[in-house]
Amino acid sequence: MPLLLLVAGSAAVAAAARRTPVPAPLLLVAAGLVVSYVPGVPGYTLDPDVVLPLVLPPLLYTSATDSSYLDLRAQLRPVALLSVGYVLFATVVVGWAAYQIVPGLPLTAALVLGAVVAPPDAVAATAVARRVGLPSRVTTILQGESLVNDATAITAYRVAVAAAVGEGATWAGGIGEFLLAAVGGVGIGLILMVPIHWLRTHLKEALLQNTLSLLIPFVAYAAAEQVHASGVLAVVVVALYLGHRSWEVDFATRLQEEAVWKMVAFVLESAVFALIGLQLPVVLKGLGAYEGGRAAWYAIAVFLVVVASRFIWVYPATFLPRIFSARIRGREENPTWKAPFVIGWAGMRGVVSLAIAFSIPEHMHNGEPFPGRNLILFLTFTTVIGTLVFQGVTLPPLIRLLKLPGRDVQAQTLAEANAQAQASRVAEQRLNELLADGSNALPPPLADRLRDVLERRRNAVWERLGQVNPTTGESVDDTYRRLSREMISAERAMFVRLRDGRYIDDEMLRTLLRRLDLEEAAAYREAA
């Protein structure tokens, strides 16, 4: 019952957020904070054994399949500098700062805190980036960073915990574990991606293909973790490959898969952000001796270090490669200070940091309590809330204030129209070749219908470059979509009346309605 309440409540809040200018993650966190103290609300404890293997893989999978392998490859340097270099840098800087700020906190425990709060959250970054319409290059860098940085942070966390509990971790051992996780995770992904794609293309039913699709992220994650490699990297590698070659899967699978994964991502993202807010009572309950003004000071100090460390890394990582490499200067445009500033400010933390923090062992090998565990949980929670609320709320107005150039919609539509024109010419040539063969003979009305469909598809994109309707204020594609919907609605209502009058049965009604649904989807896609 608590799980059903969580899913239903978070979905309702996320749906309401779509009608407000506030990004859904922020409203969900705020709702979780408020609801956590409502009498009668059950306690929700964030279980890392659930979040990491069961929630993180599908969220990474959806984000990676929606990303562009080619764009990520083009931005490989900044993505690697952020997802690996920055996470390790933040681990050390935040850990050292916490060691200096909190009296009695061992350096090893402080480094555990640094590793926990180091990675910006994949869900938060992409959700805010989509909402505010960042330039494509900035969005690609943030998405790429968020796909890989969890692997770096989890590995750094394991090394830091090993040192803290007395397992005798060394620098050499830490580097070896990092390499094993990285190389092993990528290797498992490379091994799995080809046979999984082969299986997807050879299954003949969309239902079976999408059942397999739902299993893929969990299989990749579990297979990598089984050999102590990075499950995060395995999922990302497989998802990028499948997304890059999704055109090889039949259309019915793609349509169904898109709807299924949108629903999965919506439910999980909503529940995840609500869970963050609901953790407040759990975190405060165990704070103990750190309660009061000291805990607030520690939280503010760590939050400021987390925010500052990102800027300290981002600007040198942006400009130093250009200073030392003539090849980079000749290949890339000269960046301004604005885009790095947005990247620096878009470092929201999320549920992965909290899940890692809750997995900190309660005792060391000698049986003593883990030093500062409850404080680390509290500081992780306040950092996550602080970055989500403070940076998440201010990011959209900051982008408007900086006047970053967004996507050039006109240029994108023109490129789309040119691509459609080239594809239509090839399709028309192929159609003429087929109709010239006597075995493919069609009555003239049916042949003309094929040409009409091709012509409509070719012209639809060009028409979107035109002016809006002076009477209704609608664009051409909006009018086309509305008229198509009205026509199909009239047909649909007639089919229902025929069923109610017993002229057709329900099975035939479902067949006819599915045909109309596909036509409506096609009309919507042509216009949109």
| CATH number where 184 lies | 1.20.1530.20
Interval 388-414: pLDDT, tens: 888 888 888 888 888 777 666 666 667
Asked if 77 and 321 touch (Cβ cutoff 8 Å), the reply is yes
For residues 371 and 493, state if they share a domain.
no
Domain of residue 528, residue span: 472-528
| Assigned token pair, 281 | 């009572």
* Residue that is last in its domain, among 466, 481, 496: 466
**Contacts of 90 by beta carbon, 8 Å cutoff, 6+ apart:** 114, 117, 118, 306, 309, 310, 313
Q: What are phi and psi of 442, to 5 degrees?
A: -130, 150
For residues 297 and 318, state if they share a domain.
yes
> Taking Cα atoms as reference points, which of 356, 377, 360, 378 lies closest to residue 369?
360
For residues 421 and 276, state if they share a domain.
no
Interval 235-277: pLDDT, tens: 999 999 999 888 888 877 888 888 899 899 889 888 888 888 8
> Taking Cα atoms as reference points, which of 350, 394, 407 lies closest to residue 138?
407
For residues 170 and 21, state if they share a domain.
yes
* Residue that is last in its domain, among 445, 466, 487: 466
The Cα 121–Cα 147 span in angstroms is: 9
For residues 484 and 376, state if they share a domain.
no
Q: How many CB atoms lie within 10 A of CB 408?
A: 12
For residues 380 and 419, state if they share a domain.
no
For residues 100 and 208, state if they share a domain.
yes
For residues 338 and 429, state if they share a domain.
no
For residues 158 and 206, state if they share a domain.
yes
Q: How many CB atoms lie within 10 A of CB 419?
A: 11
Helix spans in 403-505 (H): 409-436, 444-463, 476-500
- What is the residue whose two structure tokens read 């445009």? 333
pLDDT of residue 364: 81
The Cα 156–Cα 333 span in angstroms is: 34
pLDDT of residue 475: 67
Low-confidence ranges of the chain (pLDDT < 50): 527-528
pTM of the model: 0.85
Give the count of domains, the chain: 3
For residues 263 and 285, state if they share a domain.
yes
* Residue that is last in its domain, among 370, 388, 405: 405
For residues 477 and 439, state if they share a domain.
no
Q: What angle do CA 171, 176, 181 make, to 5 degrees?
A: 125
For residues 334 and 419, state if they share a domain.
no
